[in-house]
C-alpha cells in the first residue's frame, strides 16, 4: 500500500539509496554463474515543516561578489589576476563588450 510522504512517519522500501544498495557483481568462471549482491534497506521518512527564512536584501555589488566567489574565483583568483588558462579579469571591460561578458558568464555559471 502506498502511503504518501507526510508528517506521520512511513517506511520506504526499497530505500532512497538507489543503485548504492547494490554491491559489485562477481563472476565464477568454474560454474559460469554471475553473483549479484542486492541489499535492500528500508528507510523511515518523516516530513517536517521548514522554517521560512526571512527575505534577504542584497545589493547588486554584494550579489556580484557572491557570484564571483562561487563561479569564477577558483580559476581567475581572488584578486582577478588569472591563473593557468584563466586570463586576468582586471581591465576586461576595456577590451570586451559587456554583452559578450554577460553571455560568457551565463554559460560559465551553467
Q: Which residue has the higher pLDDT, 15 or 95?
A: 95
The DSSP 8-state label assigned to residue 64 in this structure reads H
Residue 1, pLDDT score = 66
pLDDT score of 13 more than 80? no
Domain map (residue ranges) of the chain: 10-45, 60-109
The pTM of the whole model exceeds 0.85: no
| pLDDT score recorded for residue 102 | 81
Show the DSSP H helices in 10-97 as ranges. 60-71, 73-76, 92-95
Choose among 49, 40, 48, 50: nearest CA to 16.
40
Which residues lie closer than 8 Å to 67 by C-beta, 6 or more apart? 109
47: nearest Cα among 97, 110, 5, 92: 5
Highest mean pLDDT out of 5-14, 25-34, 45-54, 84-93: 25-34
CB 42 within 8 A of CB 13: yes
Amino acid at each position: 500500500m502506498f502511503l504518501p510522504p507526510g508528517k506521520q512517519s512511513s517506511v520506504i522500501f526499497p530505500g532512497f539509496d538507489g543503485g548504492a544498495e547494490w554491491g559489485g557483481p562477481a563472476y565464477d568462471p568454474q560454474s559460469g554463474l554471475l553473483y549479484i549482491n542486492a541489499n535492500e534497506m528500508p528507510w523511515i521518512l518523516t516530513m517536517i515543516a521548514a522554517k521560512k527564512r526571512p527575505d534577504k536584501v542584497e545589493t547588486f555589488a554584494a550579489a556580484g561578489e557572491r557570484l564571483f566567489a562561487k563561479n569564477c574565483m577558483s580559476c581567475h583568483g581572488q584578486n582577478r589576476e588569472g591563473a593557468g588558462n584563466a586570463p586576468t579579469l582586471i581591465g576586461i571591460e576595456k577590451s570586451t563588450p559587456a554583452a559578450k561578458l554577460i553571455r560568457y558568464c551565463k554559460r560559465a555559471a551553467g
